[in-house]
Amino acid sequence: MEEDIHINEDRLWQSIMAMAKIGATAKGGCARLTLTDLDKEGRDLFVHWCQEANCVIEIDEIGNIFATRSGTADKNPVMCGSHLDTQPTGGKFDGVYGVLAGLEVIRTLNNHDIETKRPVQVVVWTNEEGSRFQPAMAGSGVLAGAFTLEDIYDCTDADGLRFEDELDRIGYKGSKTATPPNAKAYFEVHIEQGPVLEDANETIGVVTHQQGIRWYNVTVTGNESHAGTTPMDLRKDALMTAAKIALRVKTVAEENAPAGRGTVGKFECYPGSPNTIPGTVVFSIDLRHPSNDTLSAMENQIRSFIESLNNECEVDVDGYWQYPAREFDANCIETVQAAVQHLGYSFRKMITGAGHDASYMAYVIPTSMIFIPCEGGISHNEMEHASKEHCAAGCNVLLNTLLSAANT
């Protein structure tokens, strides 16, 4: 550990605020959807800053950006990073903070003429949010083998535009092969996106596990008919059946407290007329739990409930995306905790309930995460906020963590 080295708190904050101007929204948030012109602008600014910091820039086939500060030995790098894309009404910090914290570490090492044995590499992952193109975490998922490059290339947005075409259009379809990185370790610093650290008045979360996540699209098909002439007992009302399933999702999550999570985040009713019984309802289910066995049991409970509805309507459940619960690398966790204790910050070990690129990196290289509090636990929201002091604290932990890992 470098006893007296700390990052430049003001410079880190200024970088975050400068990036936030790209795609700034009226309510103080950001909208930089993947592979849009605004995404390109944010990427261009990051690349410019990294070139000023004497980093070598590489871009792979899926658009991931790798900025590398050289080391003194011929060894695999240590990596850090996150993403620059946002939700349609996102905040200034989700993902962006982790990218710019990595850049600030490199700037600090340069300012103090500190050499590391291993190269230090900052990565910007493509399409982490999945708000324009699905699935989420596409860039890291391709490298981890969760998705094929061809399948992601063929994804389309709501306007029918192809991922590959848009990647090429903004100039970020690179030549580097999208394969698992040869790296010693990967660390990702991120706002918590929940209220635990703030509620406990603690500064750092040392993340030990990734919660498992499963996503489903559910289509309920009944019969459209007249709201005034069709008796209640002769209806096949898709909305009523869908509502029962949605309530069951909530109940199943509550029955698997405190870690169980169940969310219906999208709900579309057709034909959408006040005096027509709904014939089709399409909605999403998001299930989460840190135990893969419990997650499977939750899914089975919901499927069993659907079967018990006695064919009220036809129900199709498409489990189209998932990744398992996973424990992060013990040595990486220990390195993060040692950095936190060295710096004297209050902390707790915790599980991440949100998906992150670190979750896919954990498939292929030793990985861990660092959390800082966010105000009110609010994220994926224009009101998202993290304090300047907490941003600096997390970045200082990242600096000391990378220094330790890069000199072994």
Average pLDDT in the 249-278 region?
97
Q: Where are the domains of the chain?
A: 9-211+325-406, 213-323
Handedness of CA 185, 189, 194, 197 (dihedral sign): positive
Q: How far, in Å, CA of 262 to CA of 7, rounded? A: 39
pLDDT digits (tens, 9 = 90+) for 82-96: 999 999 999 999 999
pLDDT of residue 3: 57
Q: Which residues does 120 contact at the CB level (< 8 Å), separation at least 6?
A: 68, 69, 71, 77, 78, 80, 105, 106, 109, 402, 406
Average pLDDT in the 393-408 region?
97
Q: How confident is the model at residue 238 (pLDDT cuts 50, 70, 90)?
A: very high
Query: What's the token pair of residue 169?
Result: 């259009």
Q: How far, in Å, CA of 366 to CA of 405, rounded? A: 11
pLDDT digits (tens, 9 = 90+) for 174-228: 999 999 999 999 999 999 999 999 999 999 999 999 999 999 999 999 999 999 9
CATH number of this structure's domain 213-323? 3.30.70.360
pLDDT of residue 355: 84
Protein fold of 9-211+325-406: Aminopeptidase (3.40.630)
Strands 78-83 and 185-191: parallel
Q: What is the pTM of this model?
A: 0.88
Element containing residue 391 per DSSP (H, E)? helix 388-406
Q: How confident is the model at residue 354 (pLDDT cuts 50, 70, 90)?
A: confident
Identity at 295, one-letter amino acid code: L
For residue 366, what are the CA distances in angstroms to 186, 221, 362?
6, 45, 6
Query: Is the distance from CB of 222 to CB of 269 less than 8 angstroms?
Result: no
Identity at 298, one-letter amino acid code: M
> Among the residues of 60-213, which ranges form H helices?
96-111, 138-144, 149-153, 163-169, 196-200
Q: Do domains 9-211+325-406 and 213-323 have the same CATH topology?
A: no
| pLDDT(273) > 70 | yes
| pLDDT(112) > 70 | yes
Closest CA to 357 of 383, 377, 328: 328
